[in-house]
Structure 1
Amino acid sequence: MAAVDQPNIAVVVVPFPAQGHLNQLLHLSRLIAAYNIPVHVITTTTHGRQANTRIPLSLSTNIHFHHHPTPHFPSPPPDPTAATKFPTQLIPAFQSAMHLRQPFNDLLSTLTPLVKRVVVIFDYLMGPVVQDVILYANVEAYMFSCCSAFAGFWYYHEAGGGAPLDEELAGILKELPTNEDCYSMEGYQFIASTDVSCKKFSAGTIFDASRVIEGKYIDLIEQVDYQDTQKLWALGPFNPVEITSDPNPKRHILFDWLEKQAPDSVLYISFGTTTSISNEQIQEIALGLQESKQKFIWVLRDADKGDIFECEIRKIELPGGFKEQVGEHGLVVVDWVPQLEILGHRATGGFMSHCGWNSCMESVTMGVPVAAWPMHSDQPRNAMLLTKVLNVGMYVRDWTQRKELVSLKVVKEVVTRLMVSDEGVEMRKRAAELGDRVRRSMMDGGIARVELDSFVAHVSR
C-alpha cells in the first residue's frame, strides 16, 4: 500500500447510524487511515458506542471519533409480525442523527485552518447534516452510496436514466424484484426528508463495490450519471479480505466448536441487524435445520432497537427439545458474533442470509455461497445479483413469495441442496473462485488496490 507522508489533508467520515451503513464507512475509514491520513468519524454518542462495541477501530492512531449527544429519542422494539420488514422502529434514531449538523460544522471550523483540504465522505442519507460544506473553500465532499452497483443501476434506470437495455439486461429486468414492500411508509417518508440534492455539493460518489464482482454495472452507472466533472469510485470491498488468527483469549467461544468441524461442513445463518422474524417462522427454521442433519451456527438475535443498550430484549422460543435433538450438530448464538471471521473459517461452507450488502460482500470475499432470504430495502436485488447474475447463491424464498411462511420442508431442502448436493458443491467452487479473484484485486497492483490508490492520490493532490 502506498503511504502518503505527512498528509496535508484530513478526512471527515459521516456515517448513517444503521449498523449496515456504519459498518461500511468504518471499514473504509480503516483503509484510508492506513495511508497515514488522519480520519475523523463523527457520530451520535449512542451510535458511536454501538460502533466501537461491534467494530473496534480504536487501535488505529489515525482514526479519531467525535461523539455528540443528541436529544432523547424513543427506542421501540421491532415488530416480528409486521407485514413489511423495513426496520421502522429505528426511524426515531435516524432522525436524531440529523442533529449532528452543528457539531459537524464545528468540526469543519476546527480542521479547515489546519490543512490544505478537508475531504468529507458522507452517507447519502446524511445530506442534511453535511449540506453546509459549500461554505468552506477548502472542503471537498464525496457521497457514499451504501447499496450494490447492481441495485444502484436499477434504481437509476427506474428513475428514467440511461440508454436502452441490452439483451442481458432486458432479461434481468423481466425478473427484477419490485420495490413493493421493501420500505414502510414511514421509511419512504424519512428517506424523502433527507433529500437535499447531495450531488450539488459532491465531487463524486463512492461505492462499496468491486469491478471484479460488478464491473458491468459500475460502468453502466458511470455512463448514466458521471459524464461531467464528477467521478464514481468503486473502492470495495471495504471489509478486510484476509482473516488472521486471533490470539485474543476473549475470542468468541463458538470458534472452539467450529475448529472441530470438517472443511465446508457448517452452514452459518444470520439475518442481520434489522430483521425481526416471527416466532412461527423461527419454529419452521429450527425444525428444518434439525431434519436436514447438517452442521450449523445460527445467530438468533432480534433486530436492533434505536438504542441497542436499552435492556429489554425479546425472548425467542425454540421448539421443545430442539437443542437436545440437535446436540453437537449445531450452535444457537444470541449475542454479537464476528461474522467475517466465521465466513472466512475453513469449516464454513454456506451462508443463509438476508442479503444485506455487507453480508453479500463478506460472503463473496470469503468465497462462501449463499442461501438467499431477502427481507427489505435493497436486499431483494442483492439476492438476485448473487443467485441469477453471479450464480453463487440459491433462493430460500423468492421475493414474489415474501408474504408466505417458509416451511420446514423448504428449509430442509435448501440447506441440503446448498451443503451436500452436487449443485451445492459446484456453487461452492464458483464462490471460492470469485472470492479468490476479489482478494487478489486488493493486493498491490490489483484492480481494487489501484482504484483505492488513485482515490487517495486524487484527494491528496
Structure 2
Amino acid sequence: MDGKGEDKPLKLYFIPYLAPGHMIPLCAMATLFASKGHHVTIITTPFNAKTLQKSIPSSQSKQHLHLHTVPFPSQEVSLPDGIENLSATTNLDNLVKVYQATTLLRPPIENFVLQNPPDCIVADFLFPWVDELANNLKIPRFAFNGFSLFAICAIESVKKHSLYSSTSFSIPDLPHTITMNASPPKQMSEMLQPLLDTELKSNGLIVNNFVELDGEEYIEHYEKTTGHKAWHLGPASLIRRSIEEKVESGQESAVSVHECLSWLNSKRVNSVVYICFGSLCHFPDKQLYEIACGIEASGHEFIWVVPEKKGKEDESEEEKEKWLPKGFQFQNQEKGLIIRGWAPQVLILSHPAVGAFLTHCGWNSTVEAVSFGIPMITWPVHGEQFYNEKLITQVRGIGVEVGAAEWTAVGFGEREKIVSRDSIQKAVERLMDGGDEAENIRRLAREFGDKAKLAVQEGGSSHKNLTTLIDDLKRLRDCKLS
C-alpha cells in the first residue's frame, strides 16, 4: 500500500446527547479533530445546532466542521417548540419528555449515516444503538459519557460488590481508599449498567479529562479490569481558548459578559466565591434560603447562579423572601452578584478574583475549575457527582466537602435533607479564610491547573493521545481500503 491514504483526512461523525454536560465537551472534542484538518460532522437537532453554531471557533476548524440537523420530535412527545435540550426543562415532566424524544432520533440519524457512511462514529453512550449501526457499517465506534474515568472505576467496583444499601461504605479494589457518605439510587445504577456494558463493546472511550487528574493508576485499573481503552483528550474547556469562545458554548447568558467582568475586575484576587450547580440541579426555596444565609454569614463576596429563578426577575417581595432573607440583596449589593439563569462560567472561573467554586461536582464544572486552578467546595446532587467529589477531596486534595449526603436520581424536585447554613458557612470559611489547610489546597489546585494547560499543548499528554488516536483511525481506515 502506498503512503497516500495516510494523508487523506478522516471523515468523522459526532453524535452528542442533548444536555449541556454532554454536548459542550463532545463538541469541543469534535473541534479538536477538525483543527487537525479532518472532516467532522456533528449530528444534532435544529435548536441545539443554533446553540452550537455560536460556539464553533471561527478559526480554520470551521471549514472542516459541519452541523447536520435531524428534526426533533416535539409533537410526538407533546413538547412545545424550542425545548430540545434537558437544560431547557424546568420540571420532571418535561425532562422525561426530552429523554423520550431523544430515543426517537434513531431512525433519522441512522438514515443519514447509512446514506453517507463515515470512517468513524463518536457517540454519547446514551445512544447505545450506535453500536449496532457501526457494526453494520464495519467502522470503528468510540463512546463518550461525560464522566471522569475515576467515576467509571468507582461505578464498576460498586456494581461488582453490590454496595447499594448502606449509606456510608468504602469502595474496595481501587488504588485509594474511597469512603462514600451516601449510596447511589438503585434506579440510577439500573439505568447506567446496560449503557456502560454497551460502551465496553466500542473501540475505546473518549474522556474529557487529562491523564494527570484521573491518574495513571486509575487508567491502568480501568484497562486491566475492563480490557477497554480510554483516551484522555481534555480538558474541553481549554480547547476553546479565545474570549469569544469562552463566553460559553452559545447559550444566552443571563447577565452581560461586560457587566460580569467589570464586577469581577473591581474585586481582589481570590476574594470571590462562585456558586453554581449546573443546569440540571434545581433546589427548593428552603435550600436556596440556607445558601443565602450561609454565604452572607461567611462575609465573603460571591457570584451566585440561580437557574431556579430564571424569568422571575419581577417576583413580589413576598415571593422573594421565600428564598432570600429580608434585605439580602440590598445589604449585599456590593458584595454579591446574583445571576438568574445561565452564566458565562468559563469566563468567571478563569478570572483571578475567583478564589473558590461551590459546585455540584458535575464533571464539566469540575474539570473547568481544575483547568483554571480553582479549589472547590463540593456539594454533589445526582448522577455520578458523589464519585467526582471523592476524586476532588480524598484523592487529589483540591477541595473541601460541604457534607451533602442525599444522592438523588435527578436534580429536580423536593429533597428530604437540607444542607444547613452552618455547614455552608463552615465550608466556605475553611477555604476562604486562609490558614495552612486552605493554602495547601490552593497550591495543589494551582499545580493541577498548570498540568491541565500543559496537557493540551504540543507534547502534553492529551495532545499526544489525540495524535496517536488519529494515527490509529487512519490505520483502521486504510486496512479496510486495502
TM-score (norm 1): 0.83
Percent identity between the aligned chains?
27
**Which residue identity does 1:394 align to in structure 2?**
V
Query: Against the structure 1 CA distance between its residues 429 and 58, is the aligned structure 2 distance closer, same or farther, given a 3 Å change threshold?
Result: same
CA deviation after TM superposition for structure 1 residue 245, in Å: 4.7
Alignment partner, residue 284 of structure 1:
290
For residues 458 and 361 of structure 1, the distance between their equivalents in structure 2, rounded to whole angstroms, comes to 27
**Which residue identity does 2:110 align to in structure 1?**
N
For residues 400 and 223 of structure 1, the distance between their equivalents in structure 2, rounded to whole angstroms, comes to 32
| Partner secondary structure for residue 103 of structure 1 | helix
Contact residue 200 and residue 226 of structure 2 kept, 8 A: no
CA RMSD of aligned residues (A): 3.3
CA deviation after TM superposition for structure 1 residue 460, in Å: 2.4
For residues 314 and 128 of structure 1, the distance between their equivalents in structure 2, rounded to whole angstroms, comes to 45
For residues 259 and 6 of structure 2, the distance between their equivalents in structure 1, rounded to whole angstroms, comes to 41
For residues 280 and 159 of structure 2, the distance between their equivalents in structure 1, rounded to whole angstroms, comes to 27
Query: Against the structure 1 CA distance between its residues 274 and 426, is the aligned structure 2 distance closer, same or farther, given a 3 Å change threshold?
Result: same
For residues 257 and 58 of structure 1, the distance between their equivalents in structure 2, rounded to whole angstroms, comes to 28
Query: Against the structure 1 CA distance between its residues 128 and 194, is the aligned structure 2 distance closer, same or farther, given a 3 Å change threshold?
Result: farther
Question: Where does structure 2 lack aligned partners over 5 or more consecutive residues?
Answer: 84-89, 162-170, 248-255, 408-414, 476-482
Contact residue 98 and residue 128 of structure 1 kept, 8 A: no
Contact residue 307 and residue 340 of structure 2 kept, 8 A: yes
**Which residue identity does 1:180 align to in structure 2?**
P
Contact residue 13 and residue 42 of structure 1 kept, 8 A: yes
Alignment of 1:137-148 (within 5 A): 137=138, 139-148=139-148
Which residue, out of 365, 368, 387, partners 1:381? 387
Contact residue 273 and residue 303 of structure 2 kept, 8 A: yes
Alignment of 1:416-455 (within 5 A): 416-422=429-435, 423-455=437-469
**2:365 is equivalent to residue 352 of structure 1:** no
Alignment of 1:37-116 (within 5 A): 37-52=38-53, 55-57=55-57, 60-72=62-74, 73-74=77-78, 89-112=94-117
Moved more, 122-131 or 319-328: 122-131
For residues 418 and 266 of structure 2, the distance between their equivalents in structure 1, rounded to whole angstroms, comes to 34
Query: Against the structure 1 CA distance between its residues 319 and 223, is the aligned structure 2 distance closer, same or farther, given a 3 Å change threshold?
Result: same
Alignment of 1:177-326 (within 5 A): 177-181=181-185, 185=187, 197-200=198-201, 202-215=202-215, 216-226=217-227, 231-240=229-238, 243-245=241-243, 251-302=257-308, 317=320, 318-326=324-332
CA deviation after TM superposition for structure 1 residue 344, in Å: 0.9
Query: Against the structure 1 CA distance between its residues 19 and 39, is the aligned structure 2 distance closer, same or farther, given a 3 Å change threshold?
Result: same
For residues 47 and 193 of structure 1, the distance between their equivalents in structure 2, rounded to whole angstroms, comes to 27
| Partner secondary structure for residue 421 of structure 1 | coil
Per-residue deviation, residues 268-310 of structure 1 (Å, max 9, x unmatched):
1100011011101111111221222211111111299xxxxxx
Per-residue deviation, residues 391-417 of structure 1 (Å, max 9, x unmatched):
100011232698432222222222122
Query: Against the structure 1 CA distance between its residues 433 and 32, is the aligned structure 2 distance closer, same or farther, given a 3 Å change threshold?
Result: same
| Partner secondary structure for residue 460 of structure 1 | helix
For residues 284 and 386 of structure 1, the distance between their equivalents in structure 2, rounded to whole angstroms, comes to 24
CA deviation after TM superposition for structure 1 residue 132, in Å: 1.7
For residues 273 and 108 of structure 2, the distance between their equivalents in structure 1, rounded to whole angstroms, comes to 44
Alignment partner, residue 19 of structure 2:
18
| Partner secondary structure for residue 328 of structure 1 | coil
Which residue, out of 403, 406, 412, partners 2:425? 412
TM-score (norm 2): 0.80
Aligned residues: 427
**Which residue identity does 1:276 align to in structure 2?**
H
For residues 417 and 241 of structure 1, the distance between their equivalents in structure 2, rounded to whole angstroms, comes to 32
CA deviation after TM superposition for structure 1 residue 48, in Å: 3.1
Alignment partner, residue 333 of structure 1:
339
For residues 196 and 409 of structure 1, the distance between their equivalents in structure 2, rounded to whole angstroms, comes to 42
**Which residue identity does 2:142 align to in structure 1?**
Y
**Which residue identity does 1:266 align to in structure 2?**
V
Contact residue 22 and residue 145 of structure 2 kept, 8 A: no
| Partner secondary structure for residue 334 of structure 2 | helix
CA deviation after TM superposition for structure 1 residue 209, in Å: 2.6
